[in-house]
């Protein structure tokens, strides 16, 4: 990794103020950010290892979980981002009396900036008014830092990196309410039960299942969401101290996994690996149930800090020497995979059907929200006829010679592009759309009319897919849109994805959603 110019001078001297005596604090914060982005916590590894054997060998869920396991190993070995969407860094900090929070905040901002420069974080912070990416993950309200004073002498810093795909699956209910497929939900734990089950069904594969839930009962709208997210700092294998909430957590874990949503929404035996529930007091007129959805790339770490030196005394959640997750050297292919080389021919695409596994080769174009909107209003800067458009916002670094290298390149959630995709398929001659979570009826109709397919890549598998990209042939709109939203021109080799929407009007996503809805309805009266 020393060949990258961007990685020189990773740590500069700490600030010199009268009150700032923790000379190692900023380096400790950089270590925390890097470990959180690249090393999955021990409890999450344990939970994933337990569900992998539950899936039928050769199934779509088994392939997805095997790819996830391989990706976890690659991220740890390469110290690369587990998922290319490194989220909005959210710090939860407890300090003793007299701690200089201003100096600590400045060091945290430096650590976030430095981790971004090193390619451990993707430049993710966008000005909501201008649409400009700050390029360093700093901006108004970013990163998020919660401060709390406590009576202990040490400093505790916990960090969670929660990506946009699962953040979009957060949901809040106001009871009483009619819950789709489950009926009336009242202001009691039975009503809460229905809300949580619906939240699992609502997420489908969009939030990169298998996933975990943080749930808050009560509070107001703001504190409910905050407390729901705070539940995600609990270890997945802990036991709720409230026996009523412990029973509800167990119920959700048992019954949510009967919905057959499965990994990536492909169908399967496991949909959730964790459910953590907390309760706040509320106003008499309000009863909110807030749900924070977290994907399998459950990135959180914590440290205990010496307040005199700023050195790390203890790690939370971290496995210091994790065992390999993957059971095989590569992902388990069956030999029935279909190799295709872009530009794709219509007849080859129309021969594909839902469930086929495709290995893509040749050129590929990345495109997200800003590019899709641009292409509906302007001509494409490259010939995309017969091409593959990949819903991806990568992590990229440039070396001393000016050559770009892909650091992480998993798929983003595709449904955001639903308003544009059909028009772009028609206008640009696209033959394959690659993303995660599926798309809607308008896109499905366009696939059928123009002879194209939707390919579901494995969400979060940013290191695995990065190694399938063998060259970066160009980039467009880098200055205007920023790294995640630019149009990158890649060459890929054996890029694996599953056909989940074909050119015959079939959609695995619609099938799984309808089947899981029927299963959800069967749970309406299966009470605690």
Q: Is residue 525 part of a domain?
A: no
One domain, residues 125 and 137: yes
One domain, residues 141 and 269: no
- Mean pLDDT over 196-213 rounds to 96
**pLDDT band for position 21 (50/70/90)?**
low
pLDDT at 12 over 90: no
Q: Which domain range does residue 175 map to?
A: 164-294
Q: Is residue 181 part of a domain?
A: yes
Q: Is residue 517 part of a domain?
A: no
Distances (CA, A) of 230 to 5, 109, 138: 37, 21, 22
One domain, residues 43 and 74: yes
In 10 A of CB 515, how many CB atoms?
Answer: 14
Q: Pick the more confident residue, 1 or 344.
A: 344
For residues 212 and 220, what is the distance between their CA atoms, to the nearest angstrom? 23
One domain, residues 460 and 504: yes
One domain, residues 385 and 458: yes
pLDDT at 5 over 60: no
C-beta of residue 423 within 8 angstroms of C-beta of residue 466: no
Q: Is residue 27 part of a domain?
A: yes
Quote the pLDDT of residue 14: 46
Tokens matching residue 383: 């010939």
Q: What is the pTM (predicted TM-score) of this model?
A: 0.92
One domain, residues 324 and 191: no
Quote the pLDDT of residue 20: 52
Residues 6+ away with beta carbon under 8 Å from 332 = 57, 58, 62, 63, 66
Q: 135, 142, 134: which is closest to 119 by C-alpha?
A: 135
- Mean pLDDT over 110-126 rounds to 97
For residues 263 and 268, what is the distance between their CA atoms, to the nearest angstrom? 7
C-beta of residue 65 within 8 angstroms of C-beta of residue 345: no
C-beta of residue 204 within 8 angstroms of C-beta of residue 290: no
Distances (CA, A) of 46 to 52, 77, 136, 235, 296: 10, 18, 33, 11, 12
- Mean pLDDT over 423-441 rounds to 97
One domain, residues 148 and 252: no
One domain, residues 103 and 243: no
Length of the chain: 528
Residue 173 β-bridge partners: 289
Backbone angles phi, psi at 451, to 5 degrees: 80, 65
One domain, residues 43 and 68: yes
pLDDT at 10 over 60: no
One domain, residues 33 and 157: yes
Q: Is residue 524 part of a domain?
A: no
Q: Is residue 398 part of a domain?
A: yes
One domain, residues 117 and 196: no
**pLDDT band for position 22 (50/70/90)?**
confident
Q: Is residue 440 part of a domain?
A: yes
CA atoms within 13 A on the CB side of 455: 29
Of 314, 332, 350, which one is at a domain's C-terminal end? 332
**pLDDT band for position 331 (50/70/90)?**
confident
One domain, residues 282 and 315: no
Q: Which helix (DSSP H) or strand (DSSP E) does residue 157 occupy?
A: strand 155-162
- Taking only the tens place, the pLDDT of each residue in 358-403 is 999 999 999 999 999 999 999 999 999 999 999 999 999 999 999 9
Tokens matching residue 19: 């009150």
Residue 291 β-bridge partners: 171, 215
Domain total in the chain: 3
Q: Is residue 519 part of a domain?
A: no
Residues 6+ away with beta carbon under 8 Å from 57 = 332
- Mean pLDDT over 39-54 rounds to 97
Find where tokens 């619609």 sit: 510
Residues 6+ away with beta carbon under 8 Å from 294 = 162, 166, 207, 211, 212, 213, 214, 232, 274
- Mean pLDDT over 401-421 rounds to 96
- Taking only the tens place, the pLDDT of each residue in 279-320 is 999 999 999 999 999 999 999 999 999 999 999 999 999 999
For residues 254 and 264, what is the distance between their CA atoms, to the nearest angstrom? 19
User: Could you report how far apart the first and last alpha carbons of the chain are, in Å?
Assistant: 53
For residues 310 and 313, what is the distance between their CA atoms, to the nearest angstrom? 9
Q: Give the residue ranges of DSSP H helices in 204-264.
A: 221-230, 243-256
Of 264, 294, 324, which one is at a domain's C-terminal end? 294
CATH, residue 383: 3.20.130.10
Distances (CA, A) of 423 to 21, 217, 420, 450, 472: 58, 43, 6, 11, 26
pLDDT at 13 over 50: no
For residues 39 and 36, what is the distance between their CA atoms, to the nearest angstrom? 6
- Mean pLDDT over 211-228 rounds to 98
């Amino acid at each position: 990794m020393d060949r990258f110019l961007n990685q020189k001078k990773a740590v500069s001297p700490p600030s010199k103020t009268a009150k700032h005596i923790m000379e190692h604090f900023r380096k400790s914060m950089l270590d925390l950010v890097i470990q959180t982005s690249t090393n999955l916590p021990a409890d999450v590894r344990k939970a994933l290892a337990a569900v992998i054997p539950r899936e039928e060998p050769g199934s779509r869920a088994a392939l997805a979980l095997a790819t996830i396991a391989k990706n976890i190993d690659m991220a740890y070995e390469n110290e690369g981002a587990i998922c290319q969407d490194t989220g909005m860094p959210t710090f939860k900090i407890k300090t003793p009396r007299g701690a200089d929070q201003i100096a600590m905040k400045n060091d945290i901002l430096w650590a976030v900036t430095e981790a971004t420069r090193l390619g451990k974080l993707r430049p993710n912070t966008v000005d909501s008014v201008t649409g400009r990416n700050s390029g360093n993950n700093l901006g108004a309200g970013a990163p998020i830092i919660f401060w709390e004073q406590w009576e202990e002498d040490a400093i505790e810093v916990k960090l969670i990196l929660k990506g946009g795909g699962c953040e979009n699956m957060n949901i809040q209910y106001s009871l009483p309410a009619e819950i789709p497929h489950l009926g009336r939900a009242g202001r009691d734990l039975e009503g809460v039960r229905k809300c949580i089950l619906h939240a699992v069904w609502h997420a489908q594969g969009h939030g990169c299942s298998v996933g975990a839930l943080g749930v808050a009962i009560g509070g107001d709208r703001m504190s409910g969401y905050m407390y729901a997210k705070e539940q995600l700092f609990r270890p997945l294998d802990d036991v709720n101290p409230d026996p009523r909430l412990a029973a509800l957590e167990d119920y959700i874990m048992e019954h949510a996994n009967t919905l057959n949503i499965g990994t990536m929404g492909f169908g399967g035996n496991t949909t959730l690996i964790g459910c953590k529930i907390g309760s706040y007091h509320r106003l008499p007129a309000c009863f909110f149930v807030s749900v924070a959805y977290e994907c399998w790339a459950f990135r959180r770490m914590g440290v205990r800090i010496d307040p005199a030196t700023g050195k790390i005394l203890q790690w939370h959640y971290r496995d210091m020497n994790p065992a390999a997750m993957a059971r095989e050297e590569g992902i388990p292919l069956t030999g029935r995979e279909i190799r295709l080389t872009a530009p794709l021919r219509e007849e080859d695409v129309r021969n594909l059907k839902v469930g086929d596994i495709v290995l893509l080769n040749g050129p590929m174009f990345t495109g997200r929200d800003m590019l899709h909107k641009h292409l509906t209003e302007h001509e494409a800067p490259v010939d995309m006829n017969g091409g593959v458009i990949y819903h991806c916002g990568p992590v990229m670094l440039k070396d001393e010679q000016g050559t770009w290298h892909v650091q992480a390149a998993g798929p983003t959630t595709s449904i955001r592009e639903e308003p544009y995709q059909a028009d772009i398929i028609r206008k640009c001659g696209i033959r394959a759309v690659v993303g995660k979570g599926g798309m809607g009826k308008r896109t499905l109709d366009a696939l059928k009319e123009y002879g194209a397919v939707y390919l579901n890549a494995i969400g979060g598998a940013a290191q695995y897919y990065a190694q399938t990209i063998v060259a970066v042939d160009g980039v467009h709109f880098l200055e205007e849109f920023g790294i995640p939203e630019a149009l990158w021109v890649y060459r890929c080799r054996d890029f694996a994805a599953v056909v989940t929407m074909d050119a015959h009007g079939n959609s695995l996503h619609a099938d799984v959603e309808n089947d899981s809805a029927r299963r959800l309805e069967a749970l309406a009266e299966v009470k605690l």
